[in-house]
Amino acid sequence: MSAARRGPRPAGERLRRLLVMLPWLMERGEVPVAEMCERFELSEPELVKDLELAAMCGLPPFVDEMVDVFIDEGMVYAGVPRLFTRPLRLTAPEGFSLLTAARAAMQVPGADPDGALARALAKLAAALGDDALGGAVVVDTPAPPAAETVTAAANRCERLRVVYWSPAADERTEREITPRRVFVDRGFWYVIADDHRSGEERKFRIDRIERCEPTGVIDEAREVDVPVGDAWFADADLPAVLLRVPTGGVWVAERFPTRSVQPDGDGWLLELSVVSERWLRELLLRLGAEATVLQPPEWVGLGAAAAAELLARYTGGAAD
């Protein structure tokens, strides 16, 4: 329940909830207080306060148009409904978010284009004036080939044997993993899995899984947390690099989580977490001569060194 909330609740938030609670309650007639608290994410005192207040509302001269609600022995009772019989229409953010959530879910491998979700989506789109065909809100996060097998394994808690290419080490390894959760972030598909090679929970990028086969071994179900937003990448233990990039290099700050971003003349000063030196070498190659490493000193010449190594392929006769 919503124990984390502190302080007085704003009237707008209470009204928004009340206008959904009342019609729901009236349709049912009587509901346990606890059930209502859980559904509407309110503590019992909060729920009782708002319902008792609603019971005083309505239009005094017309008794039968008052909101008829009372609470007794852990139950909420609603009398003859006259007002607030239907929920308030969807607001613009609610409509947008529902459509987006449904369209995103349709991208999951195995989503049935004629299934329940597709039918719900069609009804929702029609009610919101969205185009049924090729809708106006499009979520385009195509799943990599291995996603279907990995998702199916996560549903069954089945172990997979995979060949995975690890960018940090630039090597391919074979291992067994038990997928727990599949996760889409910034266009990439990840799986959180028990890695039986290291004995730890690890995240893998699904497009880097080169081969995967079910093993038939079923592990016990286990809940795992999926972090939100940049928490996904944040890791205080990683070393940092301080970079100066020209105006056009600001994409770096949009693509990778930054520890700090500051304007600096006609460019930017960025502090980034460094997942591996290899990653930083690639980033510096992409940024080219106009980006400079300021800190730490051992990485100041890294971009030039990486470029020299690669340039040798072109000038040193490696090409045929």
Partner 1 sequence: MADALERITNLVALLMATRAPLTLEQIANELTGQYPLGEAAMRGAFERDKALLRETGVPLETEVLSGSDAGRTGYFIDRDRYELADLHLTADEQHALQLAVAAARLADAHFGLLKLGADRGSAPVVMANIPELPELPVLREATAARAVVSFEYRGSARQLQPFSLLLRERFWYVIGHDLGHGEVRTYRVDRIEGGVGVGEPGAFQRPTGFDPRSVFPADPKLLGDEPSARAEVLVDQPRAGGVVRELGDAAVLERRGDGGVVVEVPCANLDAFRSWLFGLGTHAEVLGPPEVRAAVVEWLGALVAGR
DSSP for residue 276: -
Range 236-241 contact pairs with CB under 8 angstroms and sequence separation of 24 or more: 238/273, 238/274, 238/275, 239/273, 239/274, 239/296, 240/271, 240/272, 240/273, 240/274, 240/295, 241/271, 241/272, 241/274, 241/280, 241/293, 241/295, 241/296, 241/299
Q: Which stretch binds partner 1 (CB under 8 A): 68-76, 136-144, 193-201, 262-270?
A: 136-144
CA 194, CA 277: separation in Å to the nearest integer?
26
Coil vs helix vs strand at 121: helix
Q: C-beta of 151: minimal distance to partner 1 in Å?
A: 6
Residues 263-282 that bind partner 1 (CB under 8 A): 278, 281-282
Q: Specify whether the CB–CB gap between 260 and 268 falls below 8 A.
A: no
Nearest-CA neighbor of 24 among 51, 63, 5, 59?
51
Q: C-beta of 162: minimal distance to partner 1 in Å?
A: 13
Decide: is 155 part of the binding site for partner 1 (CB under 8 A): yes
Nearest-CA neighbor of 28 among 112, 85, 96?
85
Q: C-beta of 197: minimal distance to partner 1 in Å?
A: 19
Residues 176-215 that bind partner 1 (CB under 8 A): 181-187, 207-208, 210
Q: C-beta of 303: minimal distance to partner 1 in Å?
A: 6
Q: Which stretch binds partner 1 (CB under 8 A): 73-81, 130-138, 236-244, 257-265?
A: 130-138
Nearer to partner 1 among residue 62 and residue 73 (C-beta): 62
Number of residues binding to partner 1, judged by CB under 8 A: 114
DSSP for residue 115: S
Contacts of 215 (CB under 8 A, 6+ apart): 158, 159, 160, 161, 176
Please, what sign has the CA dihedral across residues 292, 296, 298, 302? negative
Pair of tokens at residue 295: 């800190």
Q: C-beta of 134: minimal distance to partner 1 in Å?
A: 5
Nearer to partner 1 among residue 33 and residue 179 (C-beta): 179
x/- map, 279-298, partner 1, by CB under 8 A: --xx-xxx-xx--x------
CA 259, CA 281: separation in Å to the nearest integer?
19
Residues 52-111 that bind partner 1 (CB under 8 A): 53-54, 56-60, 62, 65, 67, 83-84, 86-102, 104-105, 108
Decide: is 1 part of the binding site for partner 1 (CB under 8 A): no
Decide: is 116 part of the binding site for partner 1 (CB under 8 A): yes
**Chosen residue from 75, 141, 202, 294 binding partner 1 by CB under 8 A:** 141
Decide: is 253 part of the binding site for partner 1 (CB under 8 A): no
Q: Which stretch binds partner 1 (CB under 8 A): 72-80, 168-176, 239-247, 267-275?
A: 168-176
**Chosen residue from 4, 11, 63, 236 binding partner 1 by CB under 8 A:** 11
